[in-house]
Homo-oligomer: A and B are copies of this chain.
Amino acid sequence: MSDKLEFTHEVQKIAGFSKALSHPVRVYILKKLSKMNTCCYSGDLVEELPVGRSTLSQHLKELKYAGLIQGEINPPYIKYCINRKNWEEAKKLFTSFLEDSETEPEICEIHDVSSHRK
């Protein structure tokens, strides 16, 4: 019959958050913001990241779009911080997704299929 299912909301959300996390610059920003637990200026970030201002701005936009950060305008600065609500949601989604299964896996790794790229 080949039902060709649509993806659940959960699957789509995990993919969406993962996309936001799929670049080292964005992981770095989130790690910093979540751990320091305070806000951060775009200008401070550009000092320590190997990208230009406009590129950083694009990454911040991406993170805003994903809902993982939010900004407070404080002219002429913009302070960024973690969006705690969605950060929690991401945490729950990933935790549940990556949870161990209850039972042990059956043996399934005698031949390790090559995994080269290209």
- Chain A contacts to B: CB under 8 angstroms: 1-7, 11-12, 14-15, 18-24, 26-28, 30-31, 34-39, 47-50, 61, 64-65, 67, 70-73, 78-79, 81-84, 87-88, 90-91, 94-95, 97-106, 108-113, 115-117
Complex Cα distance A49/B49, Å? 39
Q: Which residues of B contact A94 (CB under 8 A)?
A: 94-95, 98
Enumerate 19 A-B pairs (CB-CB under 8 Å) in ascending A order.
A3-B48, A4-B50, A19-B22, A34-B101, A35-B101, A37-B102, A37-B103, A38-B105, A39-B108, A61-B115, A65-B115, A70-B108, A70-B109, A70-B113, A73-B111, A81-B108, A87-B98, A91-B98, A95-B95
Known: A34-B101, A64-B113, A94-B94. 18 other contacts (CB 8 A): A5-B49, A15-B21, A15-B24, A15-B26, A27-B97, A34-B97, A34-B98, A37-B104, A38-B105, A70-B112, A72-B108, A72-B111, A78-B113, A79-B108, A91-B100, A94-B98, A95-B95, A95-B98
